[in-house]
Amino acid sequence: MDCADPEGNVVIGYSANLSWKKIGINYANRLLYDAEHGVDSRTTLLRQDPPHMAVDTLTWSPSRLKISAGWKSLAPPIDKTLLTLPQGNLRWICHQPKAHATIQLQPQVSRIGLGYTEKLEMSIAPWELPFVELRWGRFLSATDTLIWIDWRGEVTATWVFYQGAQVNEALVTDESVSFDRGAFMLRCRETVILREGPLISTALSKIPGLKEVFPSSILNTYECKWRSKGQLTKPDHEVSAGWAIHEVVKWKTAPV
C-alpha cells in the first residue's frame, strides 16, 4: 500500500502474515519519506487489524503504527496468478492500481495523493522461487497508470500493465520502462532511496530468530526501493508527469 502526494512525500505500508511449519508471524510496517526529515520506518510484530477492502475503498489503521489510511479506487482491480509450481502458487492481486489516498499520521500530519494497493498470496517458500532478480514498480499521474513486474533467472518473465491492460514486448530496467516498440517510454529521475540493503538488516530486521529458520540466501537478499519523478512519453509526444515508486530485489547475489 502506498501514497505519494503532489510534493513527492511518500507513505508505504506493509501488512503480512506468515505461516510456515510451526512458525506464525504477524508483521506490519509503515515507511515515511519527506524532503525535510528523510526516511522514517516503524515496525510492529503485534497482531494488528489487517487492511480491509469494502466495495471500492481499502482502509488500514494499525494502532501501533499510529496511522489511519484509506484508498478509494480510481481504476478496476487486476488479479493474476504469476507462477504455478507443484509445491504452490504465487498470486498477485492488485486491488487498486490507482486510488485517491488519504493518510492521517500522528501527530496531526496528513498525506493526500495518488496511491496503490496490492496483495500477494504465496504458497511457495521464497527460496524455491525460480528467479534471482525482481523489478517492480508503479507510476501514477493524473491521466496514466503504469505497473510493472520483471523476473530474471531460471524463469524470466515480464508483466506490464498500462491503463489496466497488459502490454507485450516491454523492456524494464532500474530507471525506465518502455513498451509498444519504444513508443511509450517512462523515465525515472531525481531518485531518492527509500530503503537499501540486505533484508535481514532492513525489512526483516525487527523479526527475531530468522537466522535459525531461513537460509542465508533469503536473509541476505538485497533490496533497493526508490521514489522517483516519472515522465511518461507517449506516441503523440505528450509527456505525463507523476511519481514512481519502484524497487529491485536480488536473491543469492550482492550488489556490485
Helix H or strand E encompassing 217: helix 216-219
Residue 229 lies in a domain: yes
Residue 256 lies in a domain: no
Q: What is the CA angle 131-132-134, rounded to 5?
A: 85
pTM above 0.85, yes or no: yes
- Find out whether the peptide bond into 255 is cis, omega within 30 degrees of 0: no
Residue 136 lies in a domain: yes
Give which of 90, 94, 158, 93 is closest to 128, Cα–Cα: 90
Provide CB contacts within 8 A for 196, sequence distance 6+.
202, 223, 224, 225
Given phi > 0 = left and psi -120 to 50 = alpha, else beta, which region is 164?
Answer: left
Cell numbers that stand for 81 in this block: 496468478
Task: Give the number of domains in the chain.
Answer: 1
Cβ-in-10-Å burial (0-12, 13-18, 19+) of 247 comes to middle
Residue 255 lies in a domain: no
Residue 206 lies in a domain: yes
Residue 34 lies in a domain: yes
What is the extent of the structural domain holding 54?
A: 2-250
Q: Is 216 helix (H, G, I), strand (E, B) or coil?
A: helix
Cell numbers that stand for 148 in this block: 510493472
Residue 113 lies in a domain: yes
Give which of 87, 155, 92 is closest to 123, Cα–Cα: 87
Residue 80 lies in a domain: yes
**Tens of pLDDT along the chain (256 residues)?**
999 999 999 999 999 987 766 677 888 999 999 999 999 999 998 888 899 999 999 999 999 999 999 999 999 999 999 999 999 999 999 999 999 999 999 778 899 999 999 999 999 988 889 999 999 999 999 999 999 999 999 999 999 999 999 998 899 999 999 999 999 999 999 999 999 998 777 767 666 666 666 766 777 789 999 999 999 999 988 999 999 999 999 986 444 3
